[in-house]
Each structure stands twice: as structure tokens, then as C-alpha cells.
Amino acid sequence: MNKRSGRFVCLVAVFIVFSAAGIGQNRNGPADHPTVVVGGQTYSPRSILTRNIGTPEDEMEQFPPHKIVGNVYYVGTKTLSSFLIVTPAGNILMDTTYERNVRTIQKSVEQLGFKFSDTKFILGNHAHGDHMEGDALAKELTGAQVWAMAEDEPALRAMKPGGKEHPIDKVIHDGDSLALGGVTLVAHLTPGHTRGCTTWTMKADEGGKSYDVVFHCSLRAGGRVTPQIEAELNRSFPLVRSLPCDVPLGDHPAQYNMQEKFAKLKPGSPNPFIDPKGCNIETDIEEAMFHAILKEQAEAPH
């Protein structure tokens, strides 16, 4: 199957089901409506959020660090992704998550046999605390440069855990790249979840083959969709679908079924993280929810 044709695989199974309740959030968090069915599974804003973040303990619990593909490793928690890209010239850390998790990430890096102090660059997917709050402490521990998308700079500057200023050594823009030790990561601006939501791409070599790795940034609309968010997501969804992809990853591990794939890791078996057909399953869910929210907003009494 052509990689880009994968966009149609799950969309054919998408059916939108609307509840009669109102729009927005309640005191229990995101509303449990509208609902969408993608690939035989039913999702609502609340169930997606619960799936992604789990319990407070899940956000902090170390997940067994492991190799994903080539020089890409998982060093995050049970529900918050953090990735280590290893190169001969030093390493790249993507997503420091909460500041309280930085020492856990450091532990995971060291359990894999690498030095945390070898981290040369710190990148992030988007300016929310559960993904980039730990940048200041990680920089303090490693001396790494922090790169951030321009559109997320204001939100990051306001992120000050314990009063720490959020470090930004370089402001980047759509299409900028980071090259280190023979590895090149390209930043793709995919706004909607935040203004500077960044989907990163790179190539990884394994078993004599080269694979396209996509570090997806969430395209979840969340609550009410404003005209600005609508325009941004209408640009972001087709852009993400156009990216060559063999290994889909995400800022929350549930977005690429990490635990299920990790359980299948066995010597001599095919690498379960190489999953071209799964590259846009999360995109299908998020886009279906986006259109469901838009429809519910349009039908709501004014």
C-alpha cells in the first residue's frame, strides 16, 4: 500500500454520532460528547483525554525505557512521551514532560546505557506543561540548547515552574531543521492544539533499511473550536497526512499504541513500531472529533 494512501484506511470506518447535550466542558473535565466511532472504537473528548493522560500516577510512573527503531529510544513515563535520539555527536531529547519527571527521564536514559549529560539539544512538540515544563531543569542538568517553534514562544515564556524562566536558545520556524551527528530532524508547524504545535520528522536506519519516523503533535481540538483553530486544523490535517511515515509516534504513547507494541518486542520478531498502516489512525480520530465538534457547535441553540 502507498504510504500516503493510508489516510483512507480508517476514514472509511468513521461514523459520527452526536449526543443531544450541550457543548463545552463541565466540572468533571471535557464533555463526554460528541462521540465518534473510528475503526470500531467509540471516542469522546473525555475518553480521549483519559486515554492520553491516565491518572496522576500514570503521568509520573516510569515506563520501561526501550529502543523504538534505529537510534530512537523511549525514555518517558506511562502516559507522557519523551524520546531520545542518539548520535555520535551527542543526543537529542524530545519532550521533557513535567519538571517532576526530568529525573525519571534521566534515569531511563542512563538505564539504556547513555549519559544524560550527552544531551546537546532539547526539542518539544507543543507548549503545554505536560510536554515542555521540564525544559529548564533538563537544560540545567545537561547544558543542552532548547529550540522552540516561534508560535509557541509566548506560551513557553509564561511557563515558569518554581519561578524558573523558560529557556529558549533558538526560535525556529516551519521547515527548519536540526542536524547532528548524521541525523536531521525537520520541524513541521501543525497548529490547532497550540499555535506552535510541531510535528517532527527524521529517518532512522535499522537492518539495512531506512525508515521515516514521525513524532506527531496532537491535533486534538479540545473544547470549543474558534474560527482561528478551525483554519489551523484545516491546514494541519492534510499536511500531516502528506508526510512520509513508517514509524508513527506521538506526544502521548496511547496515540501510537505503545504498550501493545512494546509487549510484542521479541528478539527475531518483526519490529512492531514499524507500522506504516497505523501512521494516521490517531489523525483519523482527531479529525473525526474536530468535525463532530464543529457540527455540534453549528447546531447548538444561540
Domains of the chain, earliest start first: 55-279 (3.60.15.10)
Q: What are phi and psi of 229, to 5 degrees?
A: -65, -40
pLDDT tens per residue across span 175-194? 999 999 999 999 999 999 99
% of the chain at pLDDT higher than 70: 89
Q: Biggest alpha carbon distance in the chain?
A: 60
> Of 217, 225, 226, whose CA–CA distance to 282 is shortest?
217
Distance CA 109, CA 103 (A): 10
> What is the pLDDT, as a whole number, of residue 3?
42
pLDDT tens per residue across span 3-44? 444 443 333 333 333 332 333 333 355 778 899 999 899 999
In 33-131, DSSP assigns E strands to 35-38, 41-43, 66-69, 72-74, 83-87, 90-94, 119-123
In the chain, DSSP assigns E strands to 15-17, 25-26, 29-30, 35-38, 41-43, 66-69, 72-74, 83-87, 90-94, 119-123, 145-149, 170-172, 177-180, 183-189, 198-206, 209-216, 247-250
Name which residue leads in pLDDT, 1 or 80: 80
Work out the pLDDT band at 295, boundaries 50, 70, 90. Answer: very high
> What is the pLDDT, as a whole number, of residue 2?
46
> What is the pLDDT, as a whole number, of residue 216?
98
C-alpha cell at 19: 449526543
HSE toward the beta carbon, residue 266, CA cutoff 13 A: 4
C-alpha cell at 27: 466540572
Q: What are phi and psi of 190, to 5 degrees?
A: -130, 70
pLDDT tens per residue across span 231-262? 999 999 999 999 999 999 999 999 999 999 99
Distance CA 205, CA 72 (A): 10
Q: Which range is least confidently modeled, 11-20, 128-137, 151-160, 237-246? A: 11-20
Q: What is the pTM of this model?
A: 0.89
The chain-wide mean pLDDT, for the chain, equals: 90
